[in-house]
């Protein structure tokens, strides 16, 4: 009896979670190369959901941007996906947007691009947070099969800034050193004769 109850509860849990696919937020570094001091870089704020289809809607979203340690890079602003209008004037959140028309989304849908400048060597953690209580905070959505509502947006990303160095060209350095030594040897031989 216990075994049957366990099997049924596992089946229902797996079935319920596969039917109710809730969107989640992720942060993705757009620049694929290393980031050095004084570089500008961007981070994409993406909404992802398994089992999305073309009838899922986003109405609005909003979140704050923070750095865990500070001092490694600075936040410069954001660009919204062009299908959203900027609503930061109506809220105290760092980033907020809403859709005038229906915005259908799919996996890894870009909400906004955050802009930064690296200012010193080190690692810092970028956090975004929008709770699910408030007009623009979090994300309002509607799924094709009637589920929807508001969820919180909460993601973080570790970003490392490397030291910017100028490599010394080895072949040219060796050539200069060698030609200098040859010159000194020739100069010494000249005075010996």
Quick one: which of 116, 145, 114, 99 has its CA closest to 39?
A: 116
Write out the residue range of the structural domain in which residue 163 sits.
20-182
Three-class HEC string of 8-69: HHHHHHHHHHHHCCCCEEEEEECCCCCEECCCEEEEEEEEECCCCCCCCEEEEEEEEEEECC
- Residue 81 placed within a domain: yes
**Residue 99: is its pLDDT beyond 50?**
yes
CATH, residue 92: 2.60.40.680
Q: Across residues 115-125, what is the average pLDDT?
A: 93
Q: How many domains is the chain built from?
A: 1
Average pLDDT, the chain: 78
**Residue 20: is its pLDDT beyond 60?**
no
- Residue 191 placed within a domain: no
- Residue 13 placed within a domain: no
- Could you tell me which residues are beta bridge partners of residue 41? 116
- Residue 190 placed within a domain: no
Whether the model pTM is above 0.85: no
């Amino acid at each position: 009896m216990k075994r049957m109850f366990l099997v049924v509860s596992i089946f229902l849990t797996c079935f319920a979670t596969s039917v109710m696919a809730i969107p989640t937020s992720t942060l993705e570094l757009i620049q694929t190369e290393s980031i050095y001091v004084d570089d500008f870089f961007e981070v994409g704020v993406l909404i992802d959901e398994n089992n999305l289809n073309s009838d899922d809607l986003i109405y609005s979203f909003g979140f704050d941007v923070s750095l865990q340690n500070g001092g490694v890079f600075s936040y410069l602003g954001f660009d919204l996906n062009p299908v959203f209008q900027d609503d930061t004037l109506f809220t105290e959140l760092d980033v907020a947007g809403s859709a005038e028309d229906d915005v259908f989304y799919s996996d890894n849908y870009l909400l906004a691009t955050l802009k930064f400048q690296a200012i010193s060597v080190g690692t810092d953690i970028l956090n975004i947070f929008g709770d699910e209580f408030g007009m623009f905070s979090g994300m309002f959505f509607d799924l094709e099969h009637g589920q929807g509502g508001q969820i919180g947006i909460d993601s973080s990303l570790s970003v490392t800034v490397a030291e910017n160095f100028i490599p010394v060209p080895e072949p040219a350095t060796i050539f200069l050193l060698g030609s200098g030594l040859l010159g000194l040897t020739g100069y010494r031989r000249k005075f010996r004769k």
